[in-house]
């Protein structure tokens, strides 16, 4: 039996080798018979040149994008202990604020060789220390020249010369579908470059800032990109990357950038005046619906209708009337109220502009001299740059005193509304009576406006009446 096993094993080995050779030869034959499709030389050349062109643009502008890191002291105080009931029973020690140091990361763009940097206001807001790191790893202490929360822009200066910078482009010339490049420091990853197209222009009502005219792009923008550059194919700065639309906190294909023309106007005023002085036309306007256009006899697909003319305003002085339809502002077609509001706000006070107006079936021109936005208008909107930003107040009328059961001895102003992004959100409540600010008594809205309009960022001490109790409350921007 053992003698028969050897020939059988030998035959099995030989058979296995033959099968292997046959399979190998068939594979080789198949492989030799297959040829990969060739890419046309013209296609390779076009793609290569495109890639080289984009790389050269990035190489030229990337050194001007900086990393901005901040440190700020945050005062922690639970509003639970500002309630008069708990302060009465638990005492003041429970209301003592705690402090901790908080760090932040963002981006910025050098727009002048002498060291002026554009960034977002939310990147440097409330910072005690600002460190700017250049592409070559040099570090500088940043100084805030000015901020404009209404557009979420800020200007920072570093003490250096002959710096790389990006020239400002004309964002009004951007077209949907145009290639753009976003550069920033997402998640602390320095000098990150992404590419996309302009998805839309003139985006408003996003809820990011008071004055919105955003460029929408699908170039990837993530946390840390804020304040970075959005450049066109010419290497010009066309936008300051600001925010993303996301349900997860990460990139989902929708990013927003502040147009360079808006950024330039704000920057120039911040450098010159340390604040932004906005223009005022003195009208209340609204968009036109198809039914309204039909009623007014307007056949053009543009314009906004005037609902109200403010007394002694530039509009009144120019002879504008309610139900006039503004078609053009200084040569630019008007398509929605936000567009007109931005154009007026960016117009320097004292400048004369020309409006095209539709009235009673006729189109005519009107020249208007834009004036500075009055303080009382700013106050009515709660547009302050301190912890009372977004807080709207009203006088204590006899009706309000009766409805809210406010005793005769209580004087001040009633909190009528608080915006969702207000620093006072969660601390003040609608119906609260603000009796004093920083130990200065308040009798009416005029007193309130006079005090609050002069306050800057920092902690405020309020004396409040609420539900039969009076107490002190501290507020800050953070």
Q: What residues are annotated to the active site?
A: 122, 152, 226
User: Which of 131, 143, 231 is closest to 188 using CA atoms?
Assistant: 131
DSSP string, 308-351: EE-TT-HHHHTT--TT-EEEEETTEE--SHHHHHHHHHTSPTT-
Instruction: Tell me the three-class secondary structure of 8-40, residue by residue.
Output: HHHHHHHHHHHHHHHHHHHHHHHHHHCCCCCCC
Q: Distance of CA 226 to CAs 68, 255, 330, 364, 413, Å?
A: 10, 10, 32, 44, 38
Q: CA 219, 220, 223, 226: dihedral to nearest 10 degrees?
A: -20
Task: Look up residue 282 and give its two tokens.
Answer: 């003195």
Q: Which 3 state secondary structure label does DSSP give 92? A: helix
Cβ(67)–Cβ(190) below 8 Å: yes
Residue with tokens 């704000």: 266
Q: In angstroms, rounded to a whole number, what is the distance separating the alpha carbons of residues 51 and 192?
A: 17
Provide CB contacts within 8 A for 416, sequence distance 6+.
Answer: 392, 393, 394, 430
Rounded CA separation 238/235 (Å): 9
């Amino acid at each position: 039996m053992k003698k028969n096993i050897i020939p059988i094993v030998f035959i099995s080995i030989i058979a296995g080798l033959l099968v292997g050779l046959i399979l190998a030869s068939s594979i080789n034959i198949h492989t030799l018979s297959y040829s990969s499709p060739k890419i046309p030389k013209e296609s390779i050349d076009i793609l290569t040149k495109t890639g080289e062109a984009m790389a050269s643009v990035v190489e030229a502008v990337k050194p001007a994008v900086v990393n901005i890191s901040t440190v700020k002291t945050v005062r922690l105080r639970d509003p639970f202990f500002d309630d008069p009931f708990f302060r009465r029973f638990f005492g003041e020690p429970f209301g003592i604020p705690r402090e901790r140091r908080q760090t932040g990361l963002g981006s910025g763009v050098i727009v002048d060789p002498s060291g002026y940097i554009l960034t977002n206001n939310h990147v440097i807001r409330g910072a005690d220390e600002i460190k700017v790191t250049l592409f070559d790893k040099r570090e500088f202490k940043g100084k805030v020249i000015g901020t404009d929360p209404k557009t979420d822009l800020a200007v920072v200066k570093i003490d250096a010369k002959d710096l790389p910078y990006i020239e400002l482009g004309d964002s009004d010339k951007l077209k949907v579908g145009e290639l753009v490049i976003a550069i920033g420091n997402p998640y602390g990853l320095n000098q990150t470059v992404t590419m996309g197209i302009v998805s839309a222009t003139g985006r408003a009502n996003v809820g990011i800032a008071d004055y919105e005219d955003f460029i929408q792009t699908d170039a990837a923008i993530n946390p840390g990109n804020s304040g970075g550059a959005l450049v066109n194919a010419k290497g010009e700065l066309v936008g300051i990357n600001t925010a993303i639309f996301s349900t997860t906190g990460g990139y989902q294909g929708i990013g927003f950038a502040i147009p360079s023309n808006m950024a330039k106007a704000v920057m120039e005023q911040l450098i010159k005046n340390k604040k932004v002085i906005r223009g005022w036309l003195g009208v209340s306007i609204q968009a036109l619906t198809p039914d309204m256009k039909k009623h007014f006899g307007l056949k053009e697909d543009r314009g906004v209708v005037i609902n109200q003319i403010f007394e002694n305003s530039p509009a009144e002085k120019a002879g504008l009337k309610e139900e006039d339809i503004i078609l053009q502002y200084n040569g630019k077609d008007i398509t929605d109220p936000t567009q007109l509001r931005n154009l007026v706000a960016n117009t320097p006070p004292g400048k004369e502009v020309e409006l095209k107006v539709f009235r009673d079936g006729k189109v005519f021109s009107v020249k208007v001299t834009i004036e500075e936005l009055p303080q009382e208008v700013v106050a009515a909107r709660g547009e302050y740059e301190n912890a009372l930003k977004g807080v709207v107040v009203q006088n204590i009328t006899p009706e309000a005193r009766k409805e809210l059961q406010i005793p005769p001895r209580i004087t001040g102003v009633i909190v009528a509304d608080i915006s969702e992004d207000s620093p006072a959100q969660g601390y003040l409540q609608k119906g609260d009576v603000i009796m004093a600010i920083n130990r200065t008594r308040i009798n009416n809205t005029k007193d309130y406006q006079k005090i609050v309009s002069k306050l800057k960022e920092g902690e405020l001490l309020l004396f409040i009446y609420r539900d039969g109790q009076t107490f002190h409350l501290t507020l800050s921007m953070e």
